[in-house]
């Protein structure tokens, strides 16, 4: 077939669409990209605060799958073929120097997302793949072995179509896909921070702890990691992970729910051991002067205040009840979340084309041989840290390669 020159259309010039197009350009295949806006790779440009967090340093696919709250089982097949090592090798072999930050996020060494864009656009150019701008797909209709694409003023038919309309499609609706009758999971925001309007810690904004656990009482929902106090509530990886994993549950609760914060991810036994040490070493010192060294001083003071204990008390003078109240503040400080705030505009959308519609071997749509869907358009969303782009590269690579065969 490839010798006869397959006619391949990619819809959307985002990360997933461009990567798919590059890999669809094999043999005699004729690849074209259709983009609704007048820009290619617009999200790559602004991603990661302009630095583009290209992917995440995870050598083991088991760990990589854990970054995808609702789709990890399905994607095992995909990541088994193209994951972090392949992504890194692909970019580096084309001259993009990459660096890994201490938390595993991978950025271009230039700290400039334009370096990533230059590599991708260079590849499109080398493969002679045009991008047709201001071409918004209005409908895709399966006609025999081909697909008719309706762009409003014109209709064109293709042998293969790769749908890569991204999260934007979620905002604008899935209208172009209507003729296909696909199962769509309704879109919801993921990756948000928690608003706590009556938090008594707001004035401590900017303080953070490196390893907290945030849990929602009465459920098994909990995540750990760094936690940041903000002027509106809480942020940081522990909160963002919880927002991603529980995106649907929290939407169902209309973003109103209690949380318990364990500031140091301690067990009750850890606390007992700490108190034992304090009584041995600092019994005659005041709480103000002999704190838990891992907690920022102002946070310690506030938690003691919340426990209704005076900072002027000496450790030796604390009653059992007072020690218990301090324990609750360190291990289970309660706050009432009411509302959410987008994380640095860096939201992703949970929802999209249902996982059951896809074969993750190559991101083909099971009901429509020759039609593929990649990137954020499908019901896959990752936690923050470069995982959403990793999915764009993986799905783009697999669908692109398969479409040309």
Ligand X SMILES: Cc1cc2nc3c(=O)[nH]c(=O)nc-3n(C[C@H](O)[C@H](O)[C@H](O)COP(=O)(O)OP(=O)(O)OC[C@H]3O[C@@H](n4cnc5c(N)ncnc54)[C@H](O)[C@@H]3O)c2cc1C
**Binding residues for ligand X (CB under 6 A):** 11-17, 34-37, 42-43, 46-48, 52-53, 136-137, 164-169, 176, 345-348, 375-377, 386-389, 392
> Measured from the CB of residue 194, what is the shortest distance to ligand X in angstroms?
19
**Number of other residues whose CB lies within 10 A of the CB of residue 321:** 11
Collapse the DSSP code of 149 into the 3-class scheme (helix H, G, I; strand E, B; otherwise coil) and give the result: strand
Residues 6+ apart with CB under 8 A from 252: none
Residues 6+ apart with CB under 8 A from 49: 344
- Smallest distance from the beta carbon of 174 to ligand X, in angstroms? 10
Q: 149 or 326: whose CB is closer to ligand X?
A: 149
Q: Which is nearer to ligand X, 278 or 394 (CB)?
A: 394
Q: Strands, E, within 109-195: which ranges?
A: 131-132, 139-143, 146-150, 155-158, 160-163, 184-190, 192-195
What residue has token string 């034992």?
A: 276
| Dist CA 118 CA 126 (whole Å) | 12
Distance CA 385, CA 237 (A): 9
We find the least distance from the C-beta atom of residue 244 to ligand X, in angstroms, to be 12
- CB 42, min distance to ligand X, A: 6
When the beta carbons of 123 and 376 are compared against ligand X, the nearer one is 376
Q: CA 19, 21, 26 angle in degrees (round to 5)?
A: 115
Q: Considering beta carbons, is residue 4 or 186 the nearer one to ligand X? A: 186
Q: In this complex, which beta carbon is closest to ligand X, that of residue 315 or of residue 385?
A: 385
The CA-atom distances, in angstroms, between 279 and each of 136, 275, 325, 340, 358 are 70, 6, 17, 41, 61
By C-beta, is 372 or 387 nearer to ligand X? 387
The CA distance from 198 to 249, in Å, is 23
**CB of 136 vs ligand X, minimal distance in Å:** 4
From residue 358, alpha-carbon distances to 331, 363, 374 in Å are 43, 6, 10
Residue 176 or 237: which CB sits closer to ligand X? 176
How far, in Å, CA of 83 to CA of 58, rounded? 9
Which C-beta is closer to ligand X: that of 176 or that of 309? Answer: 176
Burial degree of 164 (CB within 10 A; 0-12, 13-18, 19+): buried
At its nearest, how many Å lie between ligand X and the CB of residue 54? 7
Q: In whole angstroms, how close is the CB of 107 to ligand X at the nearest point? A: 8
Minimum CB–partner distance for residue 376 and ligand X (Å): 4
């Amino acid at each position: 077939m490839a010798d006869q020159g397959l006619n391949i259309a990619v819809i959307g010039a985002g990360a997933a669409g461009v990567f798919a197009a590059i890999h669809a350009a094999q043999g005699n295949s004729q690849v074209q990209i259709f983009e609704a806006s007048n820009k290619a790779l617009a999200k790559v440009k602004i991603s990661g605060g302009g630095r583009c967090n290209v992917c995440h340093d995870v050598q083991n696919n088991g760990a990589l799958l854990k970054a995808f709250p609702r789709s990890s089982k399905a994607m095992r097949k995909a990541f088994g073929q193209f994951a972090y090592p392949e992504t890194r090798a692909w970019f580096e072999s084309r001259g993009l120097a990459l660096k890994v930050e201490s938390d595993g996020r991978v950025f271009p060494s230039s700290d400039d997302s334009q370096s990533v864009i230059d590599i991708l656009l260079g590849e499109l150019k080398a493969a002679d793949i045009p991008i047709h701008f201001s071409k918004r797909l209005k409908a895709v209709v399966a006609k025999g072995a081909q697909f008719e694409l309706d762009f409003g003023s014109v209709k064109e038919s293709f042998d293969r179509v790769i749908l890569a309309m991204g999260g934007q499609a979620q905002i604008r609706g899935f209208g172009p896909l209507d003729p296909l009758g696909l199962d769509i999971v309704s879109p919801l925001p993921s990756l948000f921070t928690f608003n706590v309007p009556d938090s008594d810690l707001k004035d401590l904004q900017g303080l953070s702890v490196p390893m907290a656990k945030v849990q929602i009482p009465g459920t098994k929902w909990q995540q750990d990691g760094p936690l940041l106090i903000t002027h509106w509530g809480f942020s940081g990886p522990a909160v963002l992970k919880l927002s991603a994993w529980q995106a649907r549950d929290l939407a169902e609760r209309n973003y109103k729910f209690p949380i318990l914060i364990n500031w140091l991810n301690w067990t009750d036994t850890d606390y007992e051991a700490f108190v034992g040490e304090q009584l041995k070493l600092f019994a005659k010192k005041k709480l103000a002067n002999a704190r838990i060294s891992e907690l920022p001083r102002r946070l310690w003071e506030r938690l003691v205040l919340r426990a209704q204990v005076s900072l002027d008390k000496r450790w030796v003078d604390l009653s059992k009840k007072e020690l218990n109240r301090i324990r609750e503040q360190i291990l289970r400080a309660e706050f009432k979340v009411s509302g959410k705030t987008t994380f640095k505009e860096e939201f992703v959308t949970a929802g999209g084309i249902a996982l059951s519609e896809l074969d993750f071997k190559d991101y083909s749509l099971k009901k429509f041989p020759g039609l593929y869907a990649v990137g954020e358009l499908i019901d896959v969303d990752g936690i923050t840290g470069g995982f959403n782009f990793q999915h764009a590269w993986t799905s783009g690579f697999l669908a692109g390669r398969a479409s040309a065969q």
